[in-house]
Each structure stands twice: as structure tokens, then as C-alpha cells.
Amino acid sequence: MAYPVQRMRRLRAHPALRRLVKETSLSVDDLICPLFIIYGKDKKIPIDSMPGVFQLSVDRLRDEVRDIYALGIPGVLLFGIPEHKDSMGSAAYNDAGVIQRAVREIKKICPELLVITDVCLCEYTDHGHCGVLEGDTSIDNDRTLELLARQAVSHARAGSDMIAPSDMMDGRVGYIRKTLGSEGYTQTPLMSYAAKFCSAFYGPFRDAAHSAPAFGDRKTYQMDPSNAREALNEVKLDIEEGADIVMVKPALAYLDIIRMVKDTFGCPTAAYNVSGEYALVKAAAGRGWINDEAVTMEVLTSIKRAGADIIISYAAKDAARMLGG
Ligand code: PBG
């Protein structure tokens, strides 16, 4: 049956009817807000390439955390910028490290807010790679696992509600799961960056987290953007190793992967709307070329429509406001 019997516009004429037939509804319940925690005191440093996002010292977290909670956003994802970096990333698994202190502080300010901590060495190593080196240039997968597990246990001990490993070493989810278990943290959920692509969209994040690799790139551990079947394999392994939530990252350039992961595994699926994706919107909006608010909502809705249950986004606060929070 076609035109004139069928007229698709009939259901588009009335605003209330449009609401009734809406297939995808973005909710504040879907959002996680990333936070950059920097060493030192009394710091709130704007990140040039990410307008509206700041590096905050632990003592400046209060207002930000209260804002996020008041907007109804369920959780925050923490990244640390330590004062000292070394070849082993030892600041990552120091119980007095920036993240460990930030977790304890946020739990004091707002115990109901879910605190998720990123586990990876790139912000803590002097060479900027996500694992420890073997020789001058290659990454030693298995020695890295031990350190990631120490970092995860240290986060759990500080009170982290969920651990999010983003390093892309083989076997890290299983190793972290086993180590957390042997330390008594059997109930700590893992949200693994399961399909994490080697993406040029991470540029602004690396400025913000001071984590650009000092040499080479991340191609030996992060995935080739050309690969979809391999992404499913990564996700499958992480689920088998004990991940509770699996993540696809970036989001916007990988909507097909989000859909495939959701359809194949059906488990809680997160998508990371990364720094470069955020920066593109802000840069164009800053020039008056696009409407910031409309594009932000369209971007987030597309990620939800693709199958994401959880969206990590630097626009979380803006979106929450627009959603009426
Ligand atoms: C750490 C990590 C990165 C991001 C999240 N965790 C950067 C990277 O892999 O280089 C990127 C997030 C973003 O761009 O917003 N490994």
C-alpha cells in the first residue's frame, strides 16, 4: 500500500502525536559524566579543546559533584593527572594517588553518586603508553596486567563503585576480576572498554590528561577502525572474562559496532562519546555553524538509538539540563 493511501506525514503533524510515536527517548538515566582530577590544590583549569570541561583538583570537586548529582546524572567516570610519572606508572596504584583521594572525597560529598574509575597506565607512565615497556618500544602485555590489577584493587579499596579498564591489554579483564576477587571485592562491577579503537578522536583527551604517547602510537593494542568482526571477538572475550558492562569507543563513528554488540550479546552496553567528537560540535557551534544544543541532543539520541544503554559524554551536564534535570 502506497501513496495516497499511505501518508507518513499524518503522524508527524501534531506535536503530541510525535511524542507518542517516538521510538527512542534519551534520559538523564543513560548518562555518565567524565571528570579530570589533577594533582595540587585549588585548581580549576579549563581545557582549551573541550569548552566547558575542566581539570579539577580534589579540593575543588565539591561544586562540580553537587551540580552533577543535582542534575540527576547517575555517575561520574574519573581520570587522574598525577604530579609525578615514571616508567611503571606507580602513581596509578598508590593509595594516596589523585584518583584514590578523589573517590574518597566524592563519596563524602555525595555518597549516592556512582563513582567509576578508569584503569589504565597512560596517564601515569612517563612514556604515555597504556602498559609497561619491554625494551625501548614494545609493550609488555603480561607484566602490565599485574600493575592494572594493583590499580583496580587500590581503586576498590578507596571506594570505587565500578572499575573501567581502558588499556586494551589481552586478558586484563580476567586478571583484574581474579585479583579483585582474591582481595574480597567479588561484588565490584567491571565496565570494560571492550571494543576500543585506535582513534584520532582522542586528541583533546590526551591534552586534558597529559597522556599522549611519547613515541609511536597505540596501534599494537587498540583496534583498527576498519574492523567490526574483531570488535565482536573482543567483546566476547571480555564477557567471558567477567565484564558486567561492555563499552564501544568512540561512539559516533562506530554506531554500527554499538548496534552489532547489542544485537549479538544483549548485555548492558556503554558507548563513549569521546573528546574529539565533543570538540567537533563545540568548534562548529563556536563559529555559529551549527546549533550546539540541537546537535548535542541529536548526537546523544543517535548513540542511544544504535543500542547504547549508557552514554559517557562530556555533554552530560548540558544534556541533563535540556532534559529538564
Ligand atoms: C586511556 C583513555 C583514553 C580515553 C579514555 N581512556 C585515551 C587513549 O586511549 O589515548 C579517551 C577518551 C576521550 O577521548 O574522550 N587509555
Question: Per-residue DSSP letters for 17-52?
Answer: HHHHT------GGGEEEEEEEESSSS-EEE-TTSTT
Alpha-carbon distance of 46 to 208, in angstroms, equals 9
Alpha-carbon distance of 209 to 206, in angstroms, equals 5
Q: Is the CB of 91 under 6 A from ligand 1?
A: no
Residue nearest to atom 5 of ligand 1 (CA): 166
Q: Is the CB of 274 under 6 A from ligand 1?
A: yes
Ligand 1 centroid to Cα of residue 21, in Å, is 37
Distances (CA, A) of 108 to 160, 183, 234: 12, 24, 36
317 is a catalytic site residue: no
The tens-digit pLDDT sequence of the chain (325 residues) is 899 999 999 999 999 999 999 999 999 999 999 999 999 999 999 999 999 999 999 999 999 999 999 999 999 999 999 999 999 999 999 999 999 999 999 999 999 999 999 999 999 999 999 999 998 889 999 999 999 999 999 999 999 999 999 999 999 999 999 999 999 999 999 999 999 999 999 999 999 999 999 999 999 999 999 999 999 999 999 999 999 999 999 999 999 999 999 999 999 999 999 999 999 999 999 999 999 999 999 999 999 999 999 999 999 999 999 998 5
Domain boundaries, the chain: 24-322
196 is a catalytic site residue: yes
pLDDT at 137: 87
Q: Is the CB of 241 under 6 A from ligand 1?
A: no
Which position among 22, 43, 196, 304 bears the catalytic label? Answer: 196
- What kind of architecture, by CATH, is found in domain 24-322? Alpha-Beta Barrel (3.20)
Beta strands in 92-230 (DSSP E): 114-119, 133-134, 138-139, 162-165, 191-196
Distances (CA, A) of 262 to 84, 234, 236, 269: 40, 14, 12, 6
Which position among 41, 85, 107, 249 bears the catalytic label? Answer: 249
pLDDT at 13: 98
Cβ neighbours of residue 22 closer than 8 Å, sequence gap 6 or more: none
